[in-house]
Amino acid sequence: MRKDLITDTAIRIVAEHGMRGLTHRAVDREAGLPEGSTSAYFRTRKALVEGFVERLATLERLDVAPDPDDVAGSIARTLDSWLVERNRTLARYAAMLEATHHPELRSILVHTPREQATALAKALGHEDPERAGAHFTAFLEGLIFYRLVGGGSTFGPAPGTEESVQDLRDAVEKALRP
C-alpha cells in the first residue's frame, strides 16, 4: 500500500536524518515515487508527521502482546526487538521531541503503550492500575531510551542476543512487582 510505503520511508528518514530531514520531496526521492506523491497523501508537513506517528503507533500496538504465561519475558523480547529495529524507536523519540516545541503536534505524545500497561497492572492486582500503568510506561520508556541512546548503549548487552533479552527481562520483572 502506497500510504504505508510513504510513512515507513518517513520513519527511516527521521531515524537517519532527524526531523529536519523530513520533507515531502525527501520521502518521494527515498521511496522512489514520482515527485508530489507524498503531498497527495499528506498535504502538509504536520499531516506527514502525524501520518508516520500513527504508523509507528499501529506497528507498536501489533508488537505489544504480553504472554500471560511469561509477561516479563514477552515484554523483554518486544523491547529487544525495538532495539534491533532501532529506526522506529529513534523516529518515535525524534517526533516526541519535536512535539515539545510545536504544540500542534502534541497528539504524538498520546501514542504510548499506557493503555496496555494499565490493563496489565489491573491483571497483576495493583491497587491503582492507572497510576501503576503510568509508572510502568515511564519505566519502559526510560529503559528503552537508556539502552538505545543512553549509557546502556555503550556497555549493555548487544541487542538481538539472549543476554540482552535476559537483562531486559530482569529489569521488567522488578518493575512489575506490586
Cell of 30: 527515498
| pLDDT value, residue 10 | 97
User: Is pLDDT at 132 greater than 60 in this prediction?
Assistant: yes
- DSSP calls for the chain: -HHHHHHHHHHHHHHHH-GGG--HHHHHHHHTPPTTHHHHH--SHHHHHHHHHHHHHHHHHHH---BTTBHHHHHHHHHHHHHHTHHHHHHHHHHHHHHHH-GGGGGGGG-STHHHHHHHHHHTT-SSHHHHHHHHHHHHHHHHHHHHTSTHHHHSPPTTSHHHHHHHHHHHHHHH--
Reply yes or no on whether the pLDDT at 5 is more than 80: yes
pLDDT, one tens digit per residue, over 96-131 is 888 888 776 776 666 566 777 888 888 888 889 889
Phi and psi of 32, rounded to 5°? Answer: 70, 30
Length of the chain: 178
pLDDT tens-place string over residues 34-74: 999 999 999 999 899 989 988 988 888 788 777 878 989 99
Residue range 5-12: mean pLDDT, rounded: 97
- pLDDT category at 9 given cuts 50, 70, 90 is very high
Mean pLDDT over each residue of the chain, to the nearest integer: 88
Q: From CA 151, how far away is CA 172, in angstroms rounded?
A: 18
